[in-house]
Amino acid sequence: MRELRRRAQACPTSAISDIFESKAVATAEKVRTVCTYCGVGCNLEVAVDSNKVKSIQAPYDAEVNQGHTCLKGRFAFSFYDHPDRIRTPLIRRNGELVPATWDEAYDFIAEKLTAIKSQHGPDFIAGISSARCTNEENYLMQKFIRAVIGTNNIDSCARVCHSPTALGMQRTFGTGAATNSIEDLKYTKCIMIIGANPTDAHPVTGAKLKQVAMKGIPSIVIDPRRTEMAKYATHHLQLRPGTNVPLLQMMLYYIIMDGLEDKTFVASRTEGYEGFRQQILGLDIDKLEQTCGVSREQVRAAARTYASAEAAMSFHGLGVTEHSQGTLTVMLIADLAMVTGNIGRRGVGVNPLRGQNNVQGAADMGCQPHQGAGYLDVTKPGVPQPVRGVLPR
Ligand code: SF4
């Protein structure tokens, strides 16, 4: 059934269909929306009849997914109408949750928040927003918590999963967003995937990465697991869990040792390089090799592939960011891109694979305690974060 469902939209004779009969369903109303399951953000076309979802198709004119979706986006929609779905606000009275009207709920919330604020102060209140919500909703949520309640206690999943990406990229590039678009895969000559399993976690982007690897474009997978992408990889660096930092330091070491830096780029577009170079060359390569458990020859070969490619793109996921050294790892990925000139043009760059469809927006809108909308430091209102080059750490 899994295979049948995968092929349902593409079967040219309609001999294979799916249990929702997606292709046969004719409804007057089609709603274009965005899948919220993962960070790819596939466009979906939802066939609606009498306010019920009848089927979901993937539009061919969608830039992100061009007729593709994974199983989740196309078929996992029955939850919206599930009998367990809560359809009215609930207020706990005498220990039990009882249905209430929206007016009652708003009055209850306002009364409780006002009482807590006047009794204990605004810092006794916190708000959690969501990277599955729109920019407008996220902006309003943080504005409410900051301007109405009066506290910076606002957070969201954007900070939890990828704050090391935001911070690491802000420190190195000045901004925490992906530097390139997925479309750039058409132009790349090398892909490096670190701490991510995109064919499972970001299936539509994963399929595009797989296509690139299957075309024979060199790929490097840095992951303790033998992921599907690892099976196609030119280099699979199967490091010990939690050792991304020494492995990337080894890659930098060999790129510098072998004179594979993009010297023009480094001289004109980075700062602090000489100190950085000395630090990297001063590292104990025996110790790094021992720590990460990958032979220096393997690392050197992968480093040469990445640095010699005309254009190399890197992708990273939670296997980078959900480690205590996540920020440093992201900075090293950015350093690799800068040292080799793989930034600022098509088919290159540093591309985090985010967890939800609007992680970037939730962070941009300021749904995190330390930074407001536009990444302004909450301790210095009105002063933008400093932009830093390759160094200092
Ligand atoms: S790849 Fe992600 S965004 Fe696209 S359909 Fe699947 S879960 Fe949804």
Ligand 1 pocket test, pick from 42, 357, 358 with the greatest ligand atom count within 8 Å of Cβ, gives 42
Q: pLDDT per residue over 8-18, tens digit each?
A: 677 777 777 77
Least confident of 24-28, 230-234, 364-368: 24-28
Number of alpha carbons in the 13 Å side-chain half-sphere of residue 13:
2
Does the CB atom of residue 69 touch ligand 1 within 6 A? yes
- Tell me the average pLDDT across 172-192: 93
- Tell me the average pLDDT across 342-354: 96
Least confident of 56-70, 267-281, 292-306: 56-70
Separation of CA 360 and ligand 1 centre (Å): 16
- Tell me the average pLDDT across 49-58: 89
pLDDT at 338 > cutoff 60: yes
Identify residue 279 by its one-letter amino acid code: Q
Residues 345, 220: contact at Cβ < 8 Å? no
Query: What per-residue confidence (pLDDT) applies to 377?
Result: 86
Ligand 1 atom with the smallest distance to the CA of 204 is 1
Q: Which long-range contacts (CB under 8 A, 24 or more apart) does 264-268 make?
A: 264/341, 265/338, 265/340, 265/341, 265/343, 266/338, 266/339, 266/341, 266/390
Least confident of 75-89, 93-107, 330-344: 75-89
Q: pLDDT per residue over 113-160, tens digit each?
A: 999 999 999 999 999 999 999 999 999 999 999 999 999 999 998 887
- Tell me the average pLDDT across 357-379: 89
pLDDT at 283 > cutoff 60: yes
Query: What per-residue confidence (pLDDT) applies to 382?
Result: 65
Instruction: Dump the DSSP string for 221-249.
Output: EE-SS--HHHHH-SEEE-PPTT-HHHHHH
**Prediction pTM value:** 0.87
Ligand 1 pocket test, pick from 34, 40, 77 with the greatest ligand atom count within 8 Å of Cβ, gives 40
Residue with tokens 């640095």: 307
Does the CB atom of residue 39 touch ligand 1 within 6 A? no
Separation of CA 88 and ligand 1 centre (Å): 29
- E strands, the chain, are 29-34, 43-49, 52-57, 90-93, 96-99, 127-128, 154-155, 190-194, 219-222, 235-237, 312-316, 349-352
Residues 203, 182: contact at Cβ < 8 Å? no
Query: What per-residue confidence (pLDDT) applies to 3?
Result: 44
Q: CA-CA distances (angstroms) from residue 169 to 67, 153, 172, 275?
A: 32, 24, 5, 20
Separation of CA 227 and ligand 1 centre (Å): 19
Which residue's CA is minimally distant from atom 4 of ligand 1? 42
Separation of CA 321 and ligand 1 centre (Å): 21
Does the CB atom of residue 41 touch ligand 1 within 6 A? yes
Number of alpha carbons in the 13 Å side-chain half-sphere of residue 60:
2
- Tell me the average pLDDT across 180-192: 96
Percent of the chain residues past pLDDT 70, beyond the cut: 94
Q: Among positive and negative, which fits the CA dihedral 242, 246, 249, 253? A: negative
Domains of the chain, each with CATH number or no CATH: 2-81 (2.20.25.90), 102-157 (no CATH), 160-375 (3.40.228.10)
Separation of CA 73 and ligand 1 centre (Å): 5
Query: What per-residue confidence (pLDDT) applies to 311?
Result: 98
Determine the angle formed by the axes of helices 244-257 and 326-339, rounding to 10 degrees: 20
pLDDT at 280 > cutoff 90: yes
Query: What per-residue confidence (pLDDT) applies to 24?
Result: 67
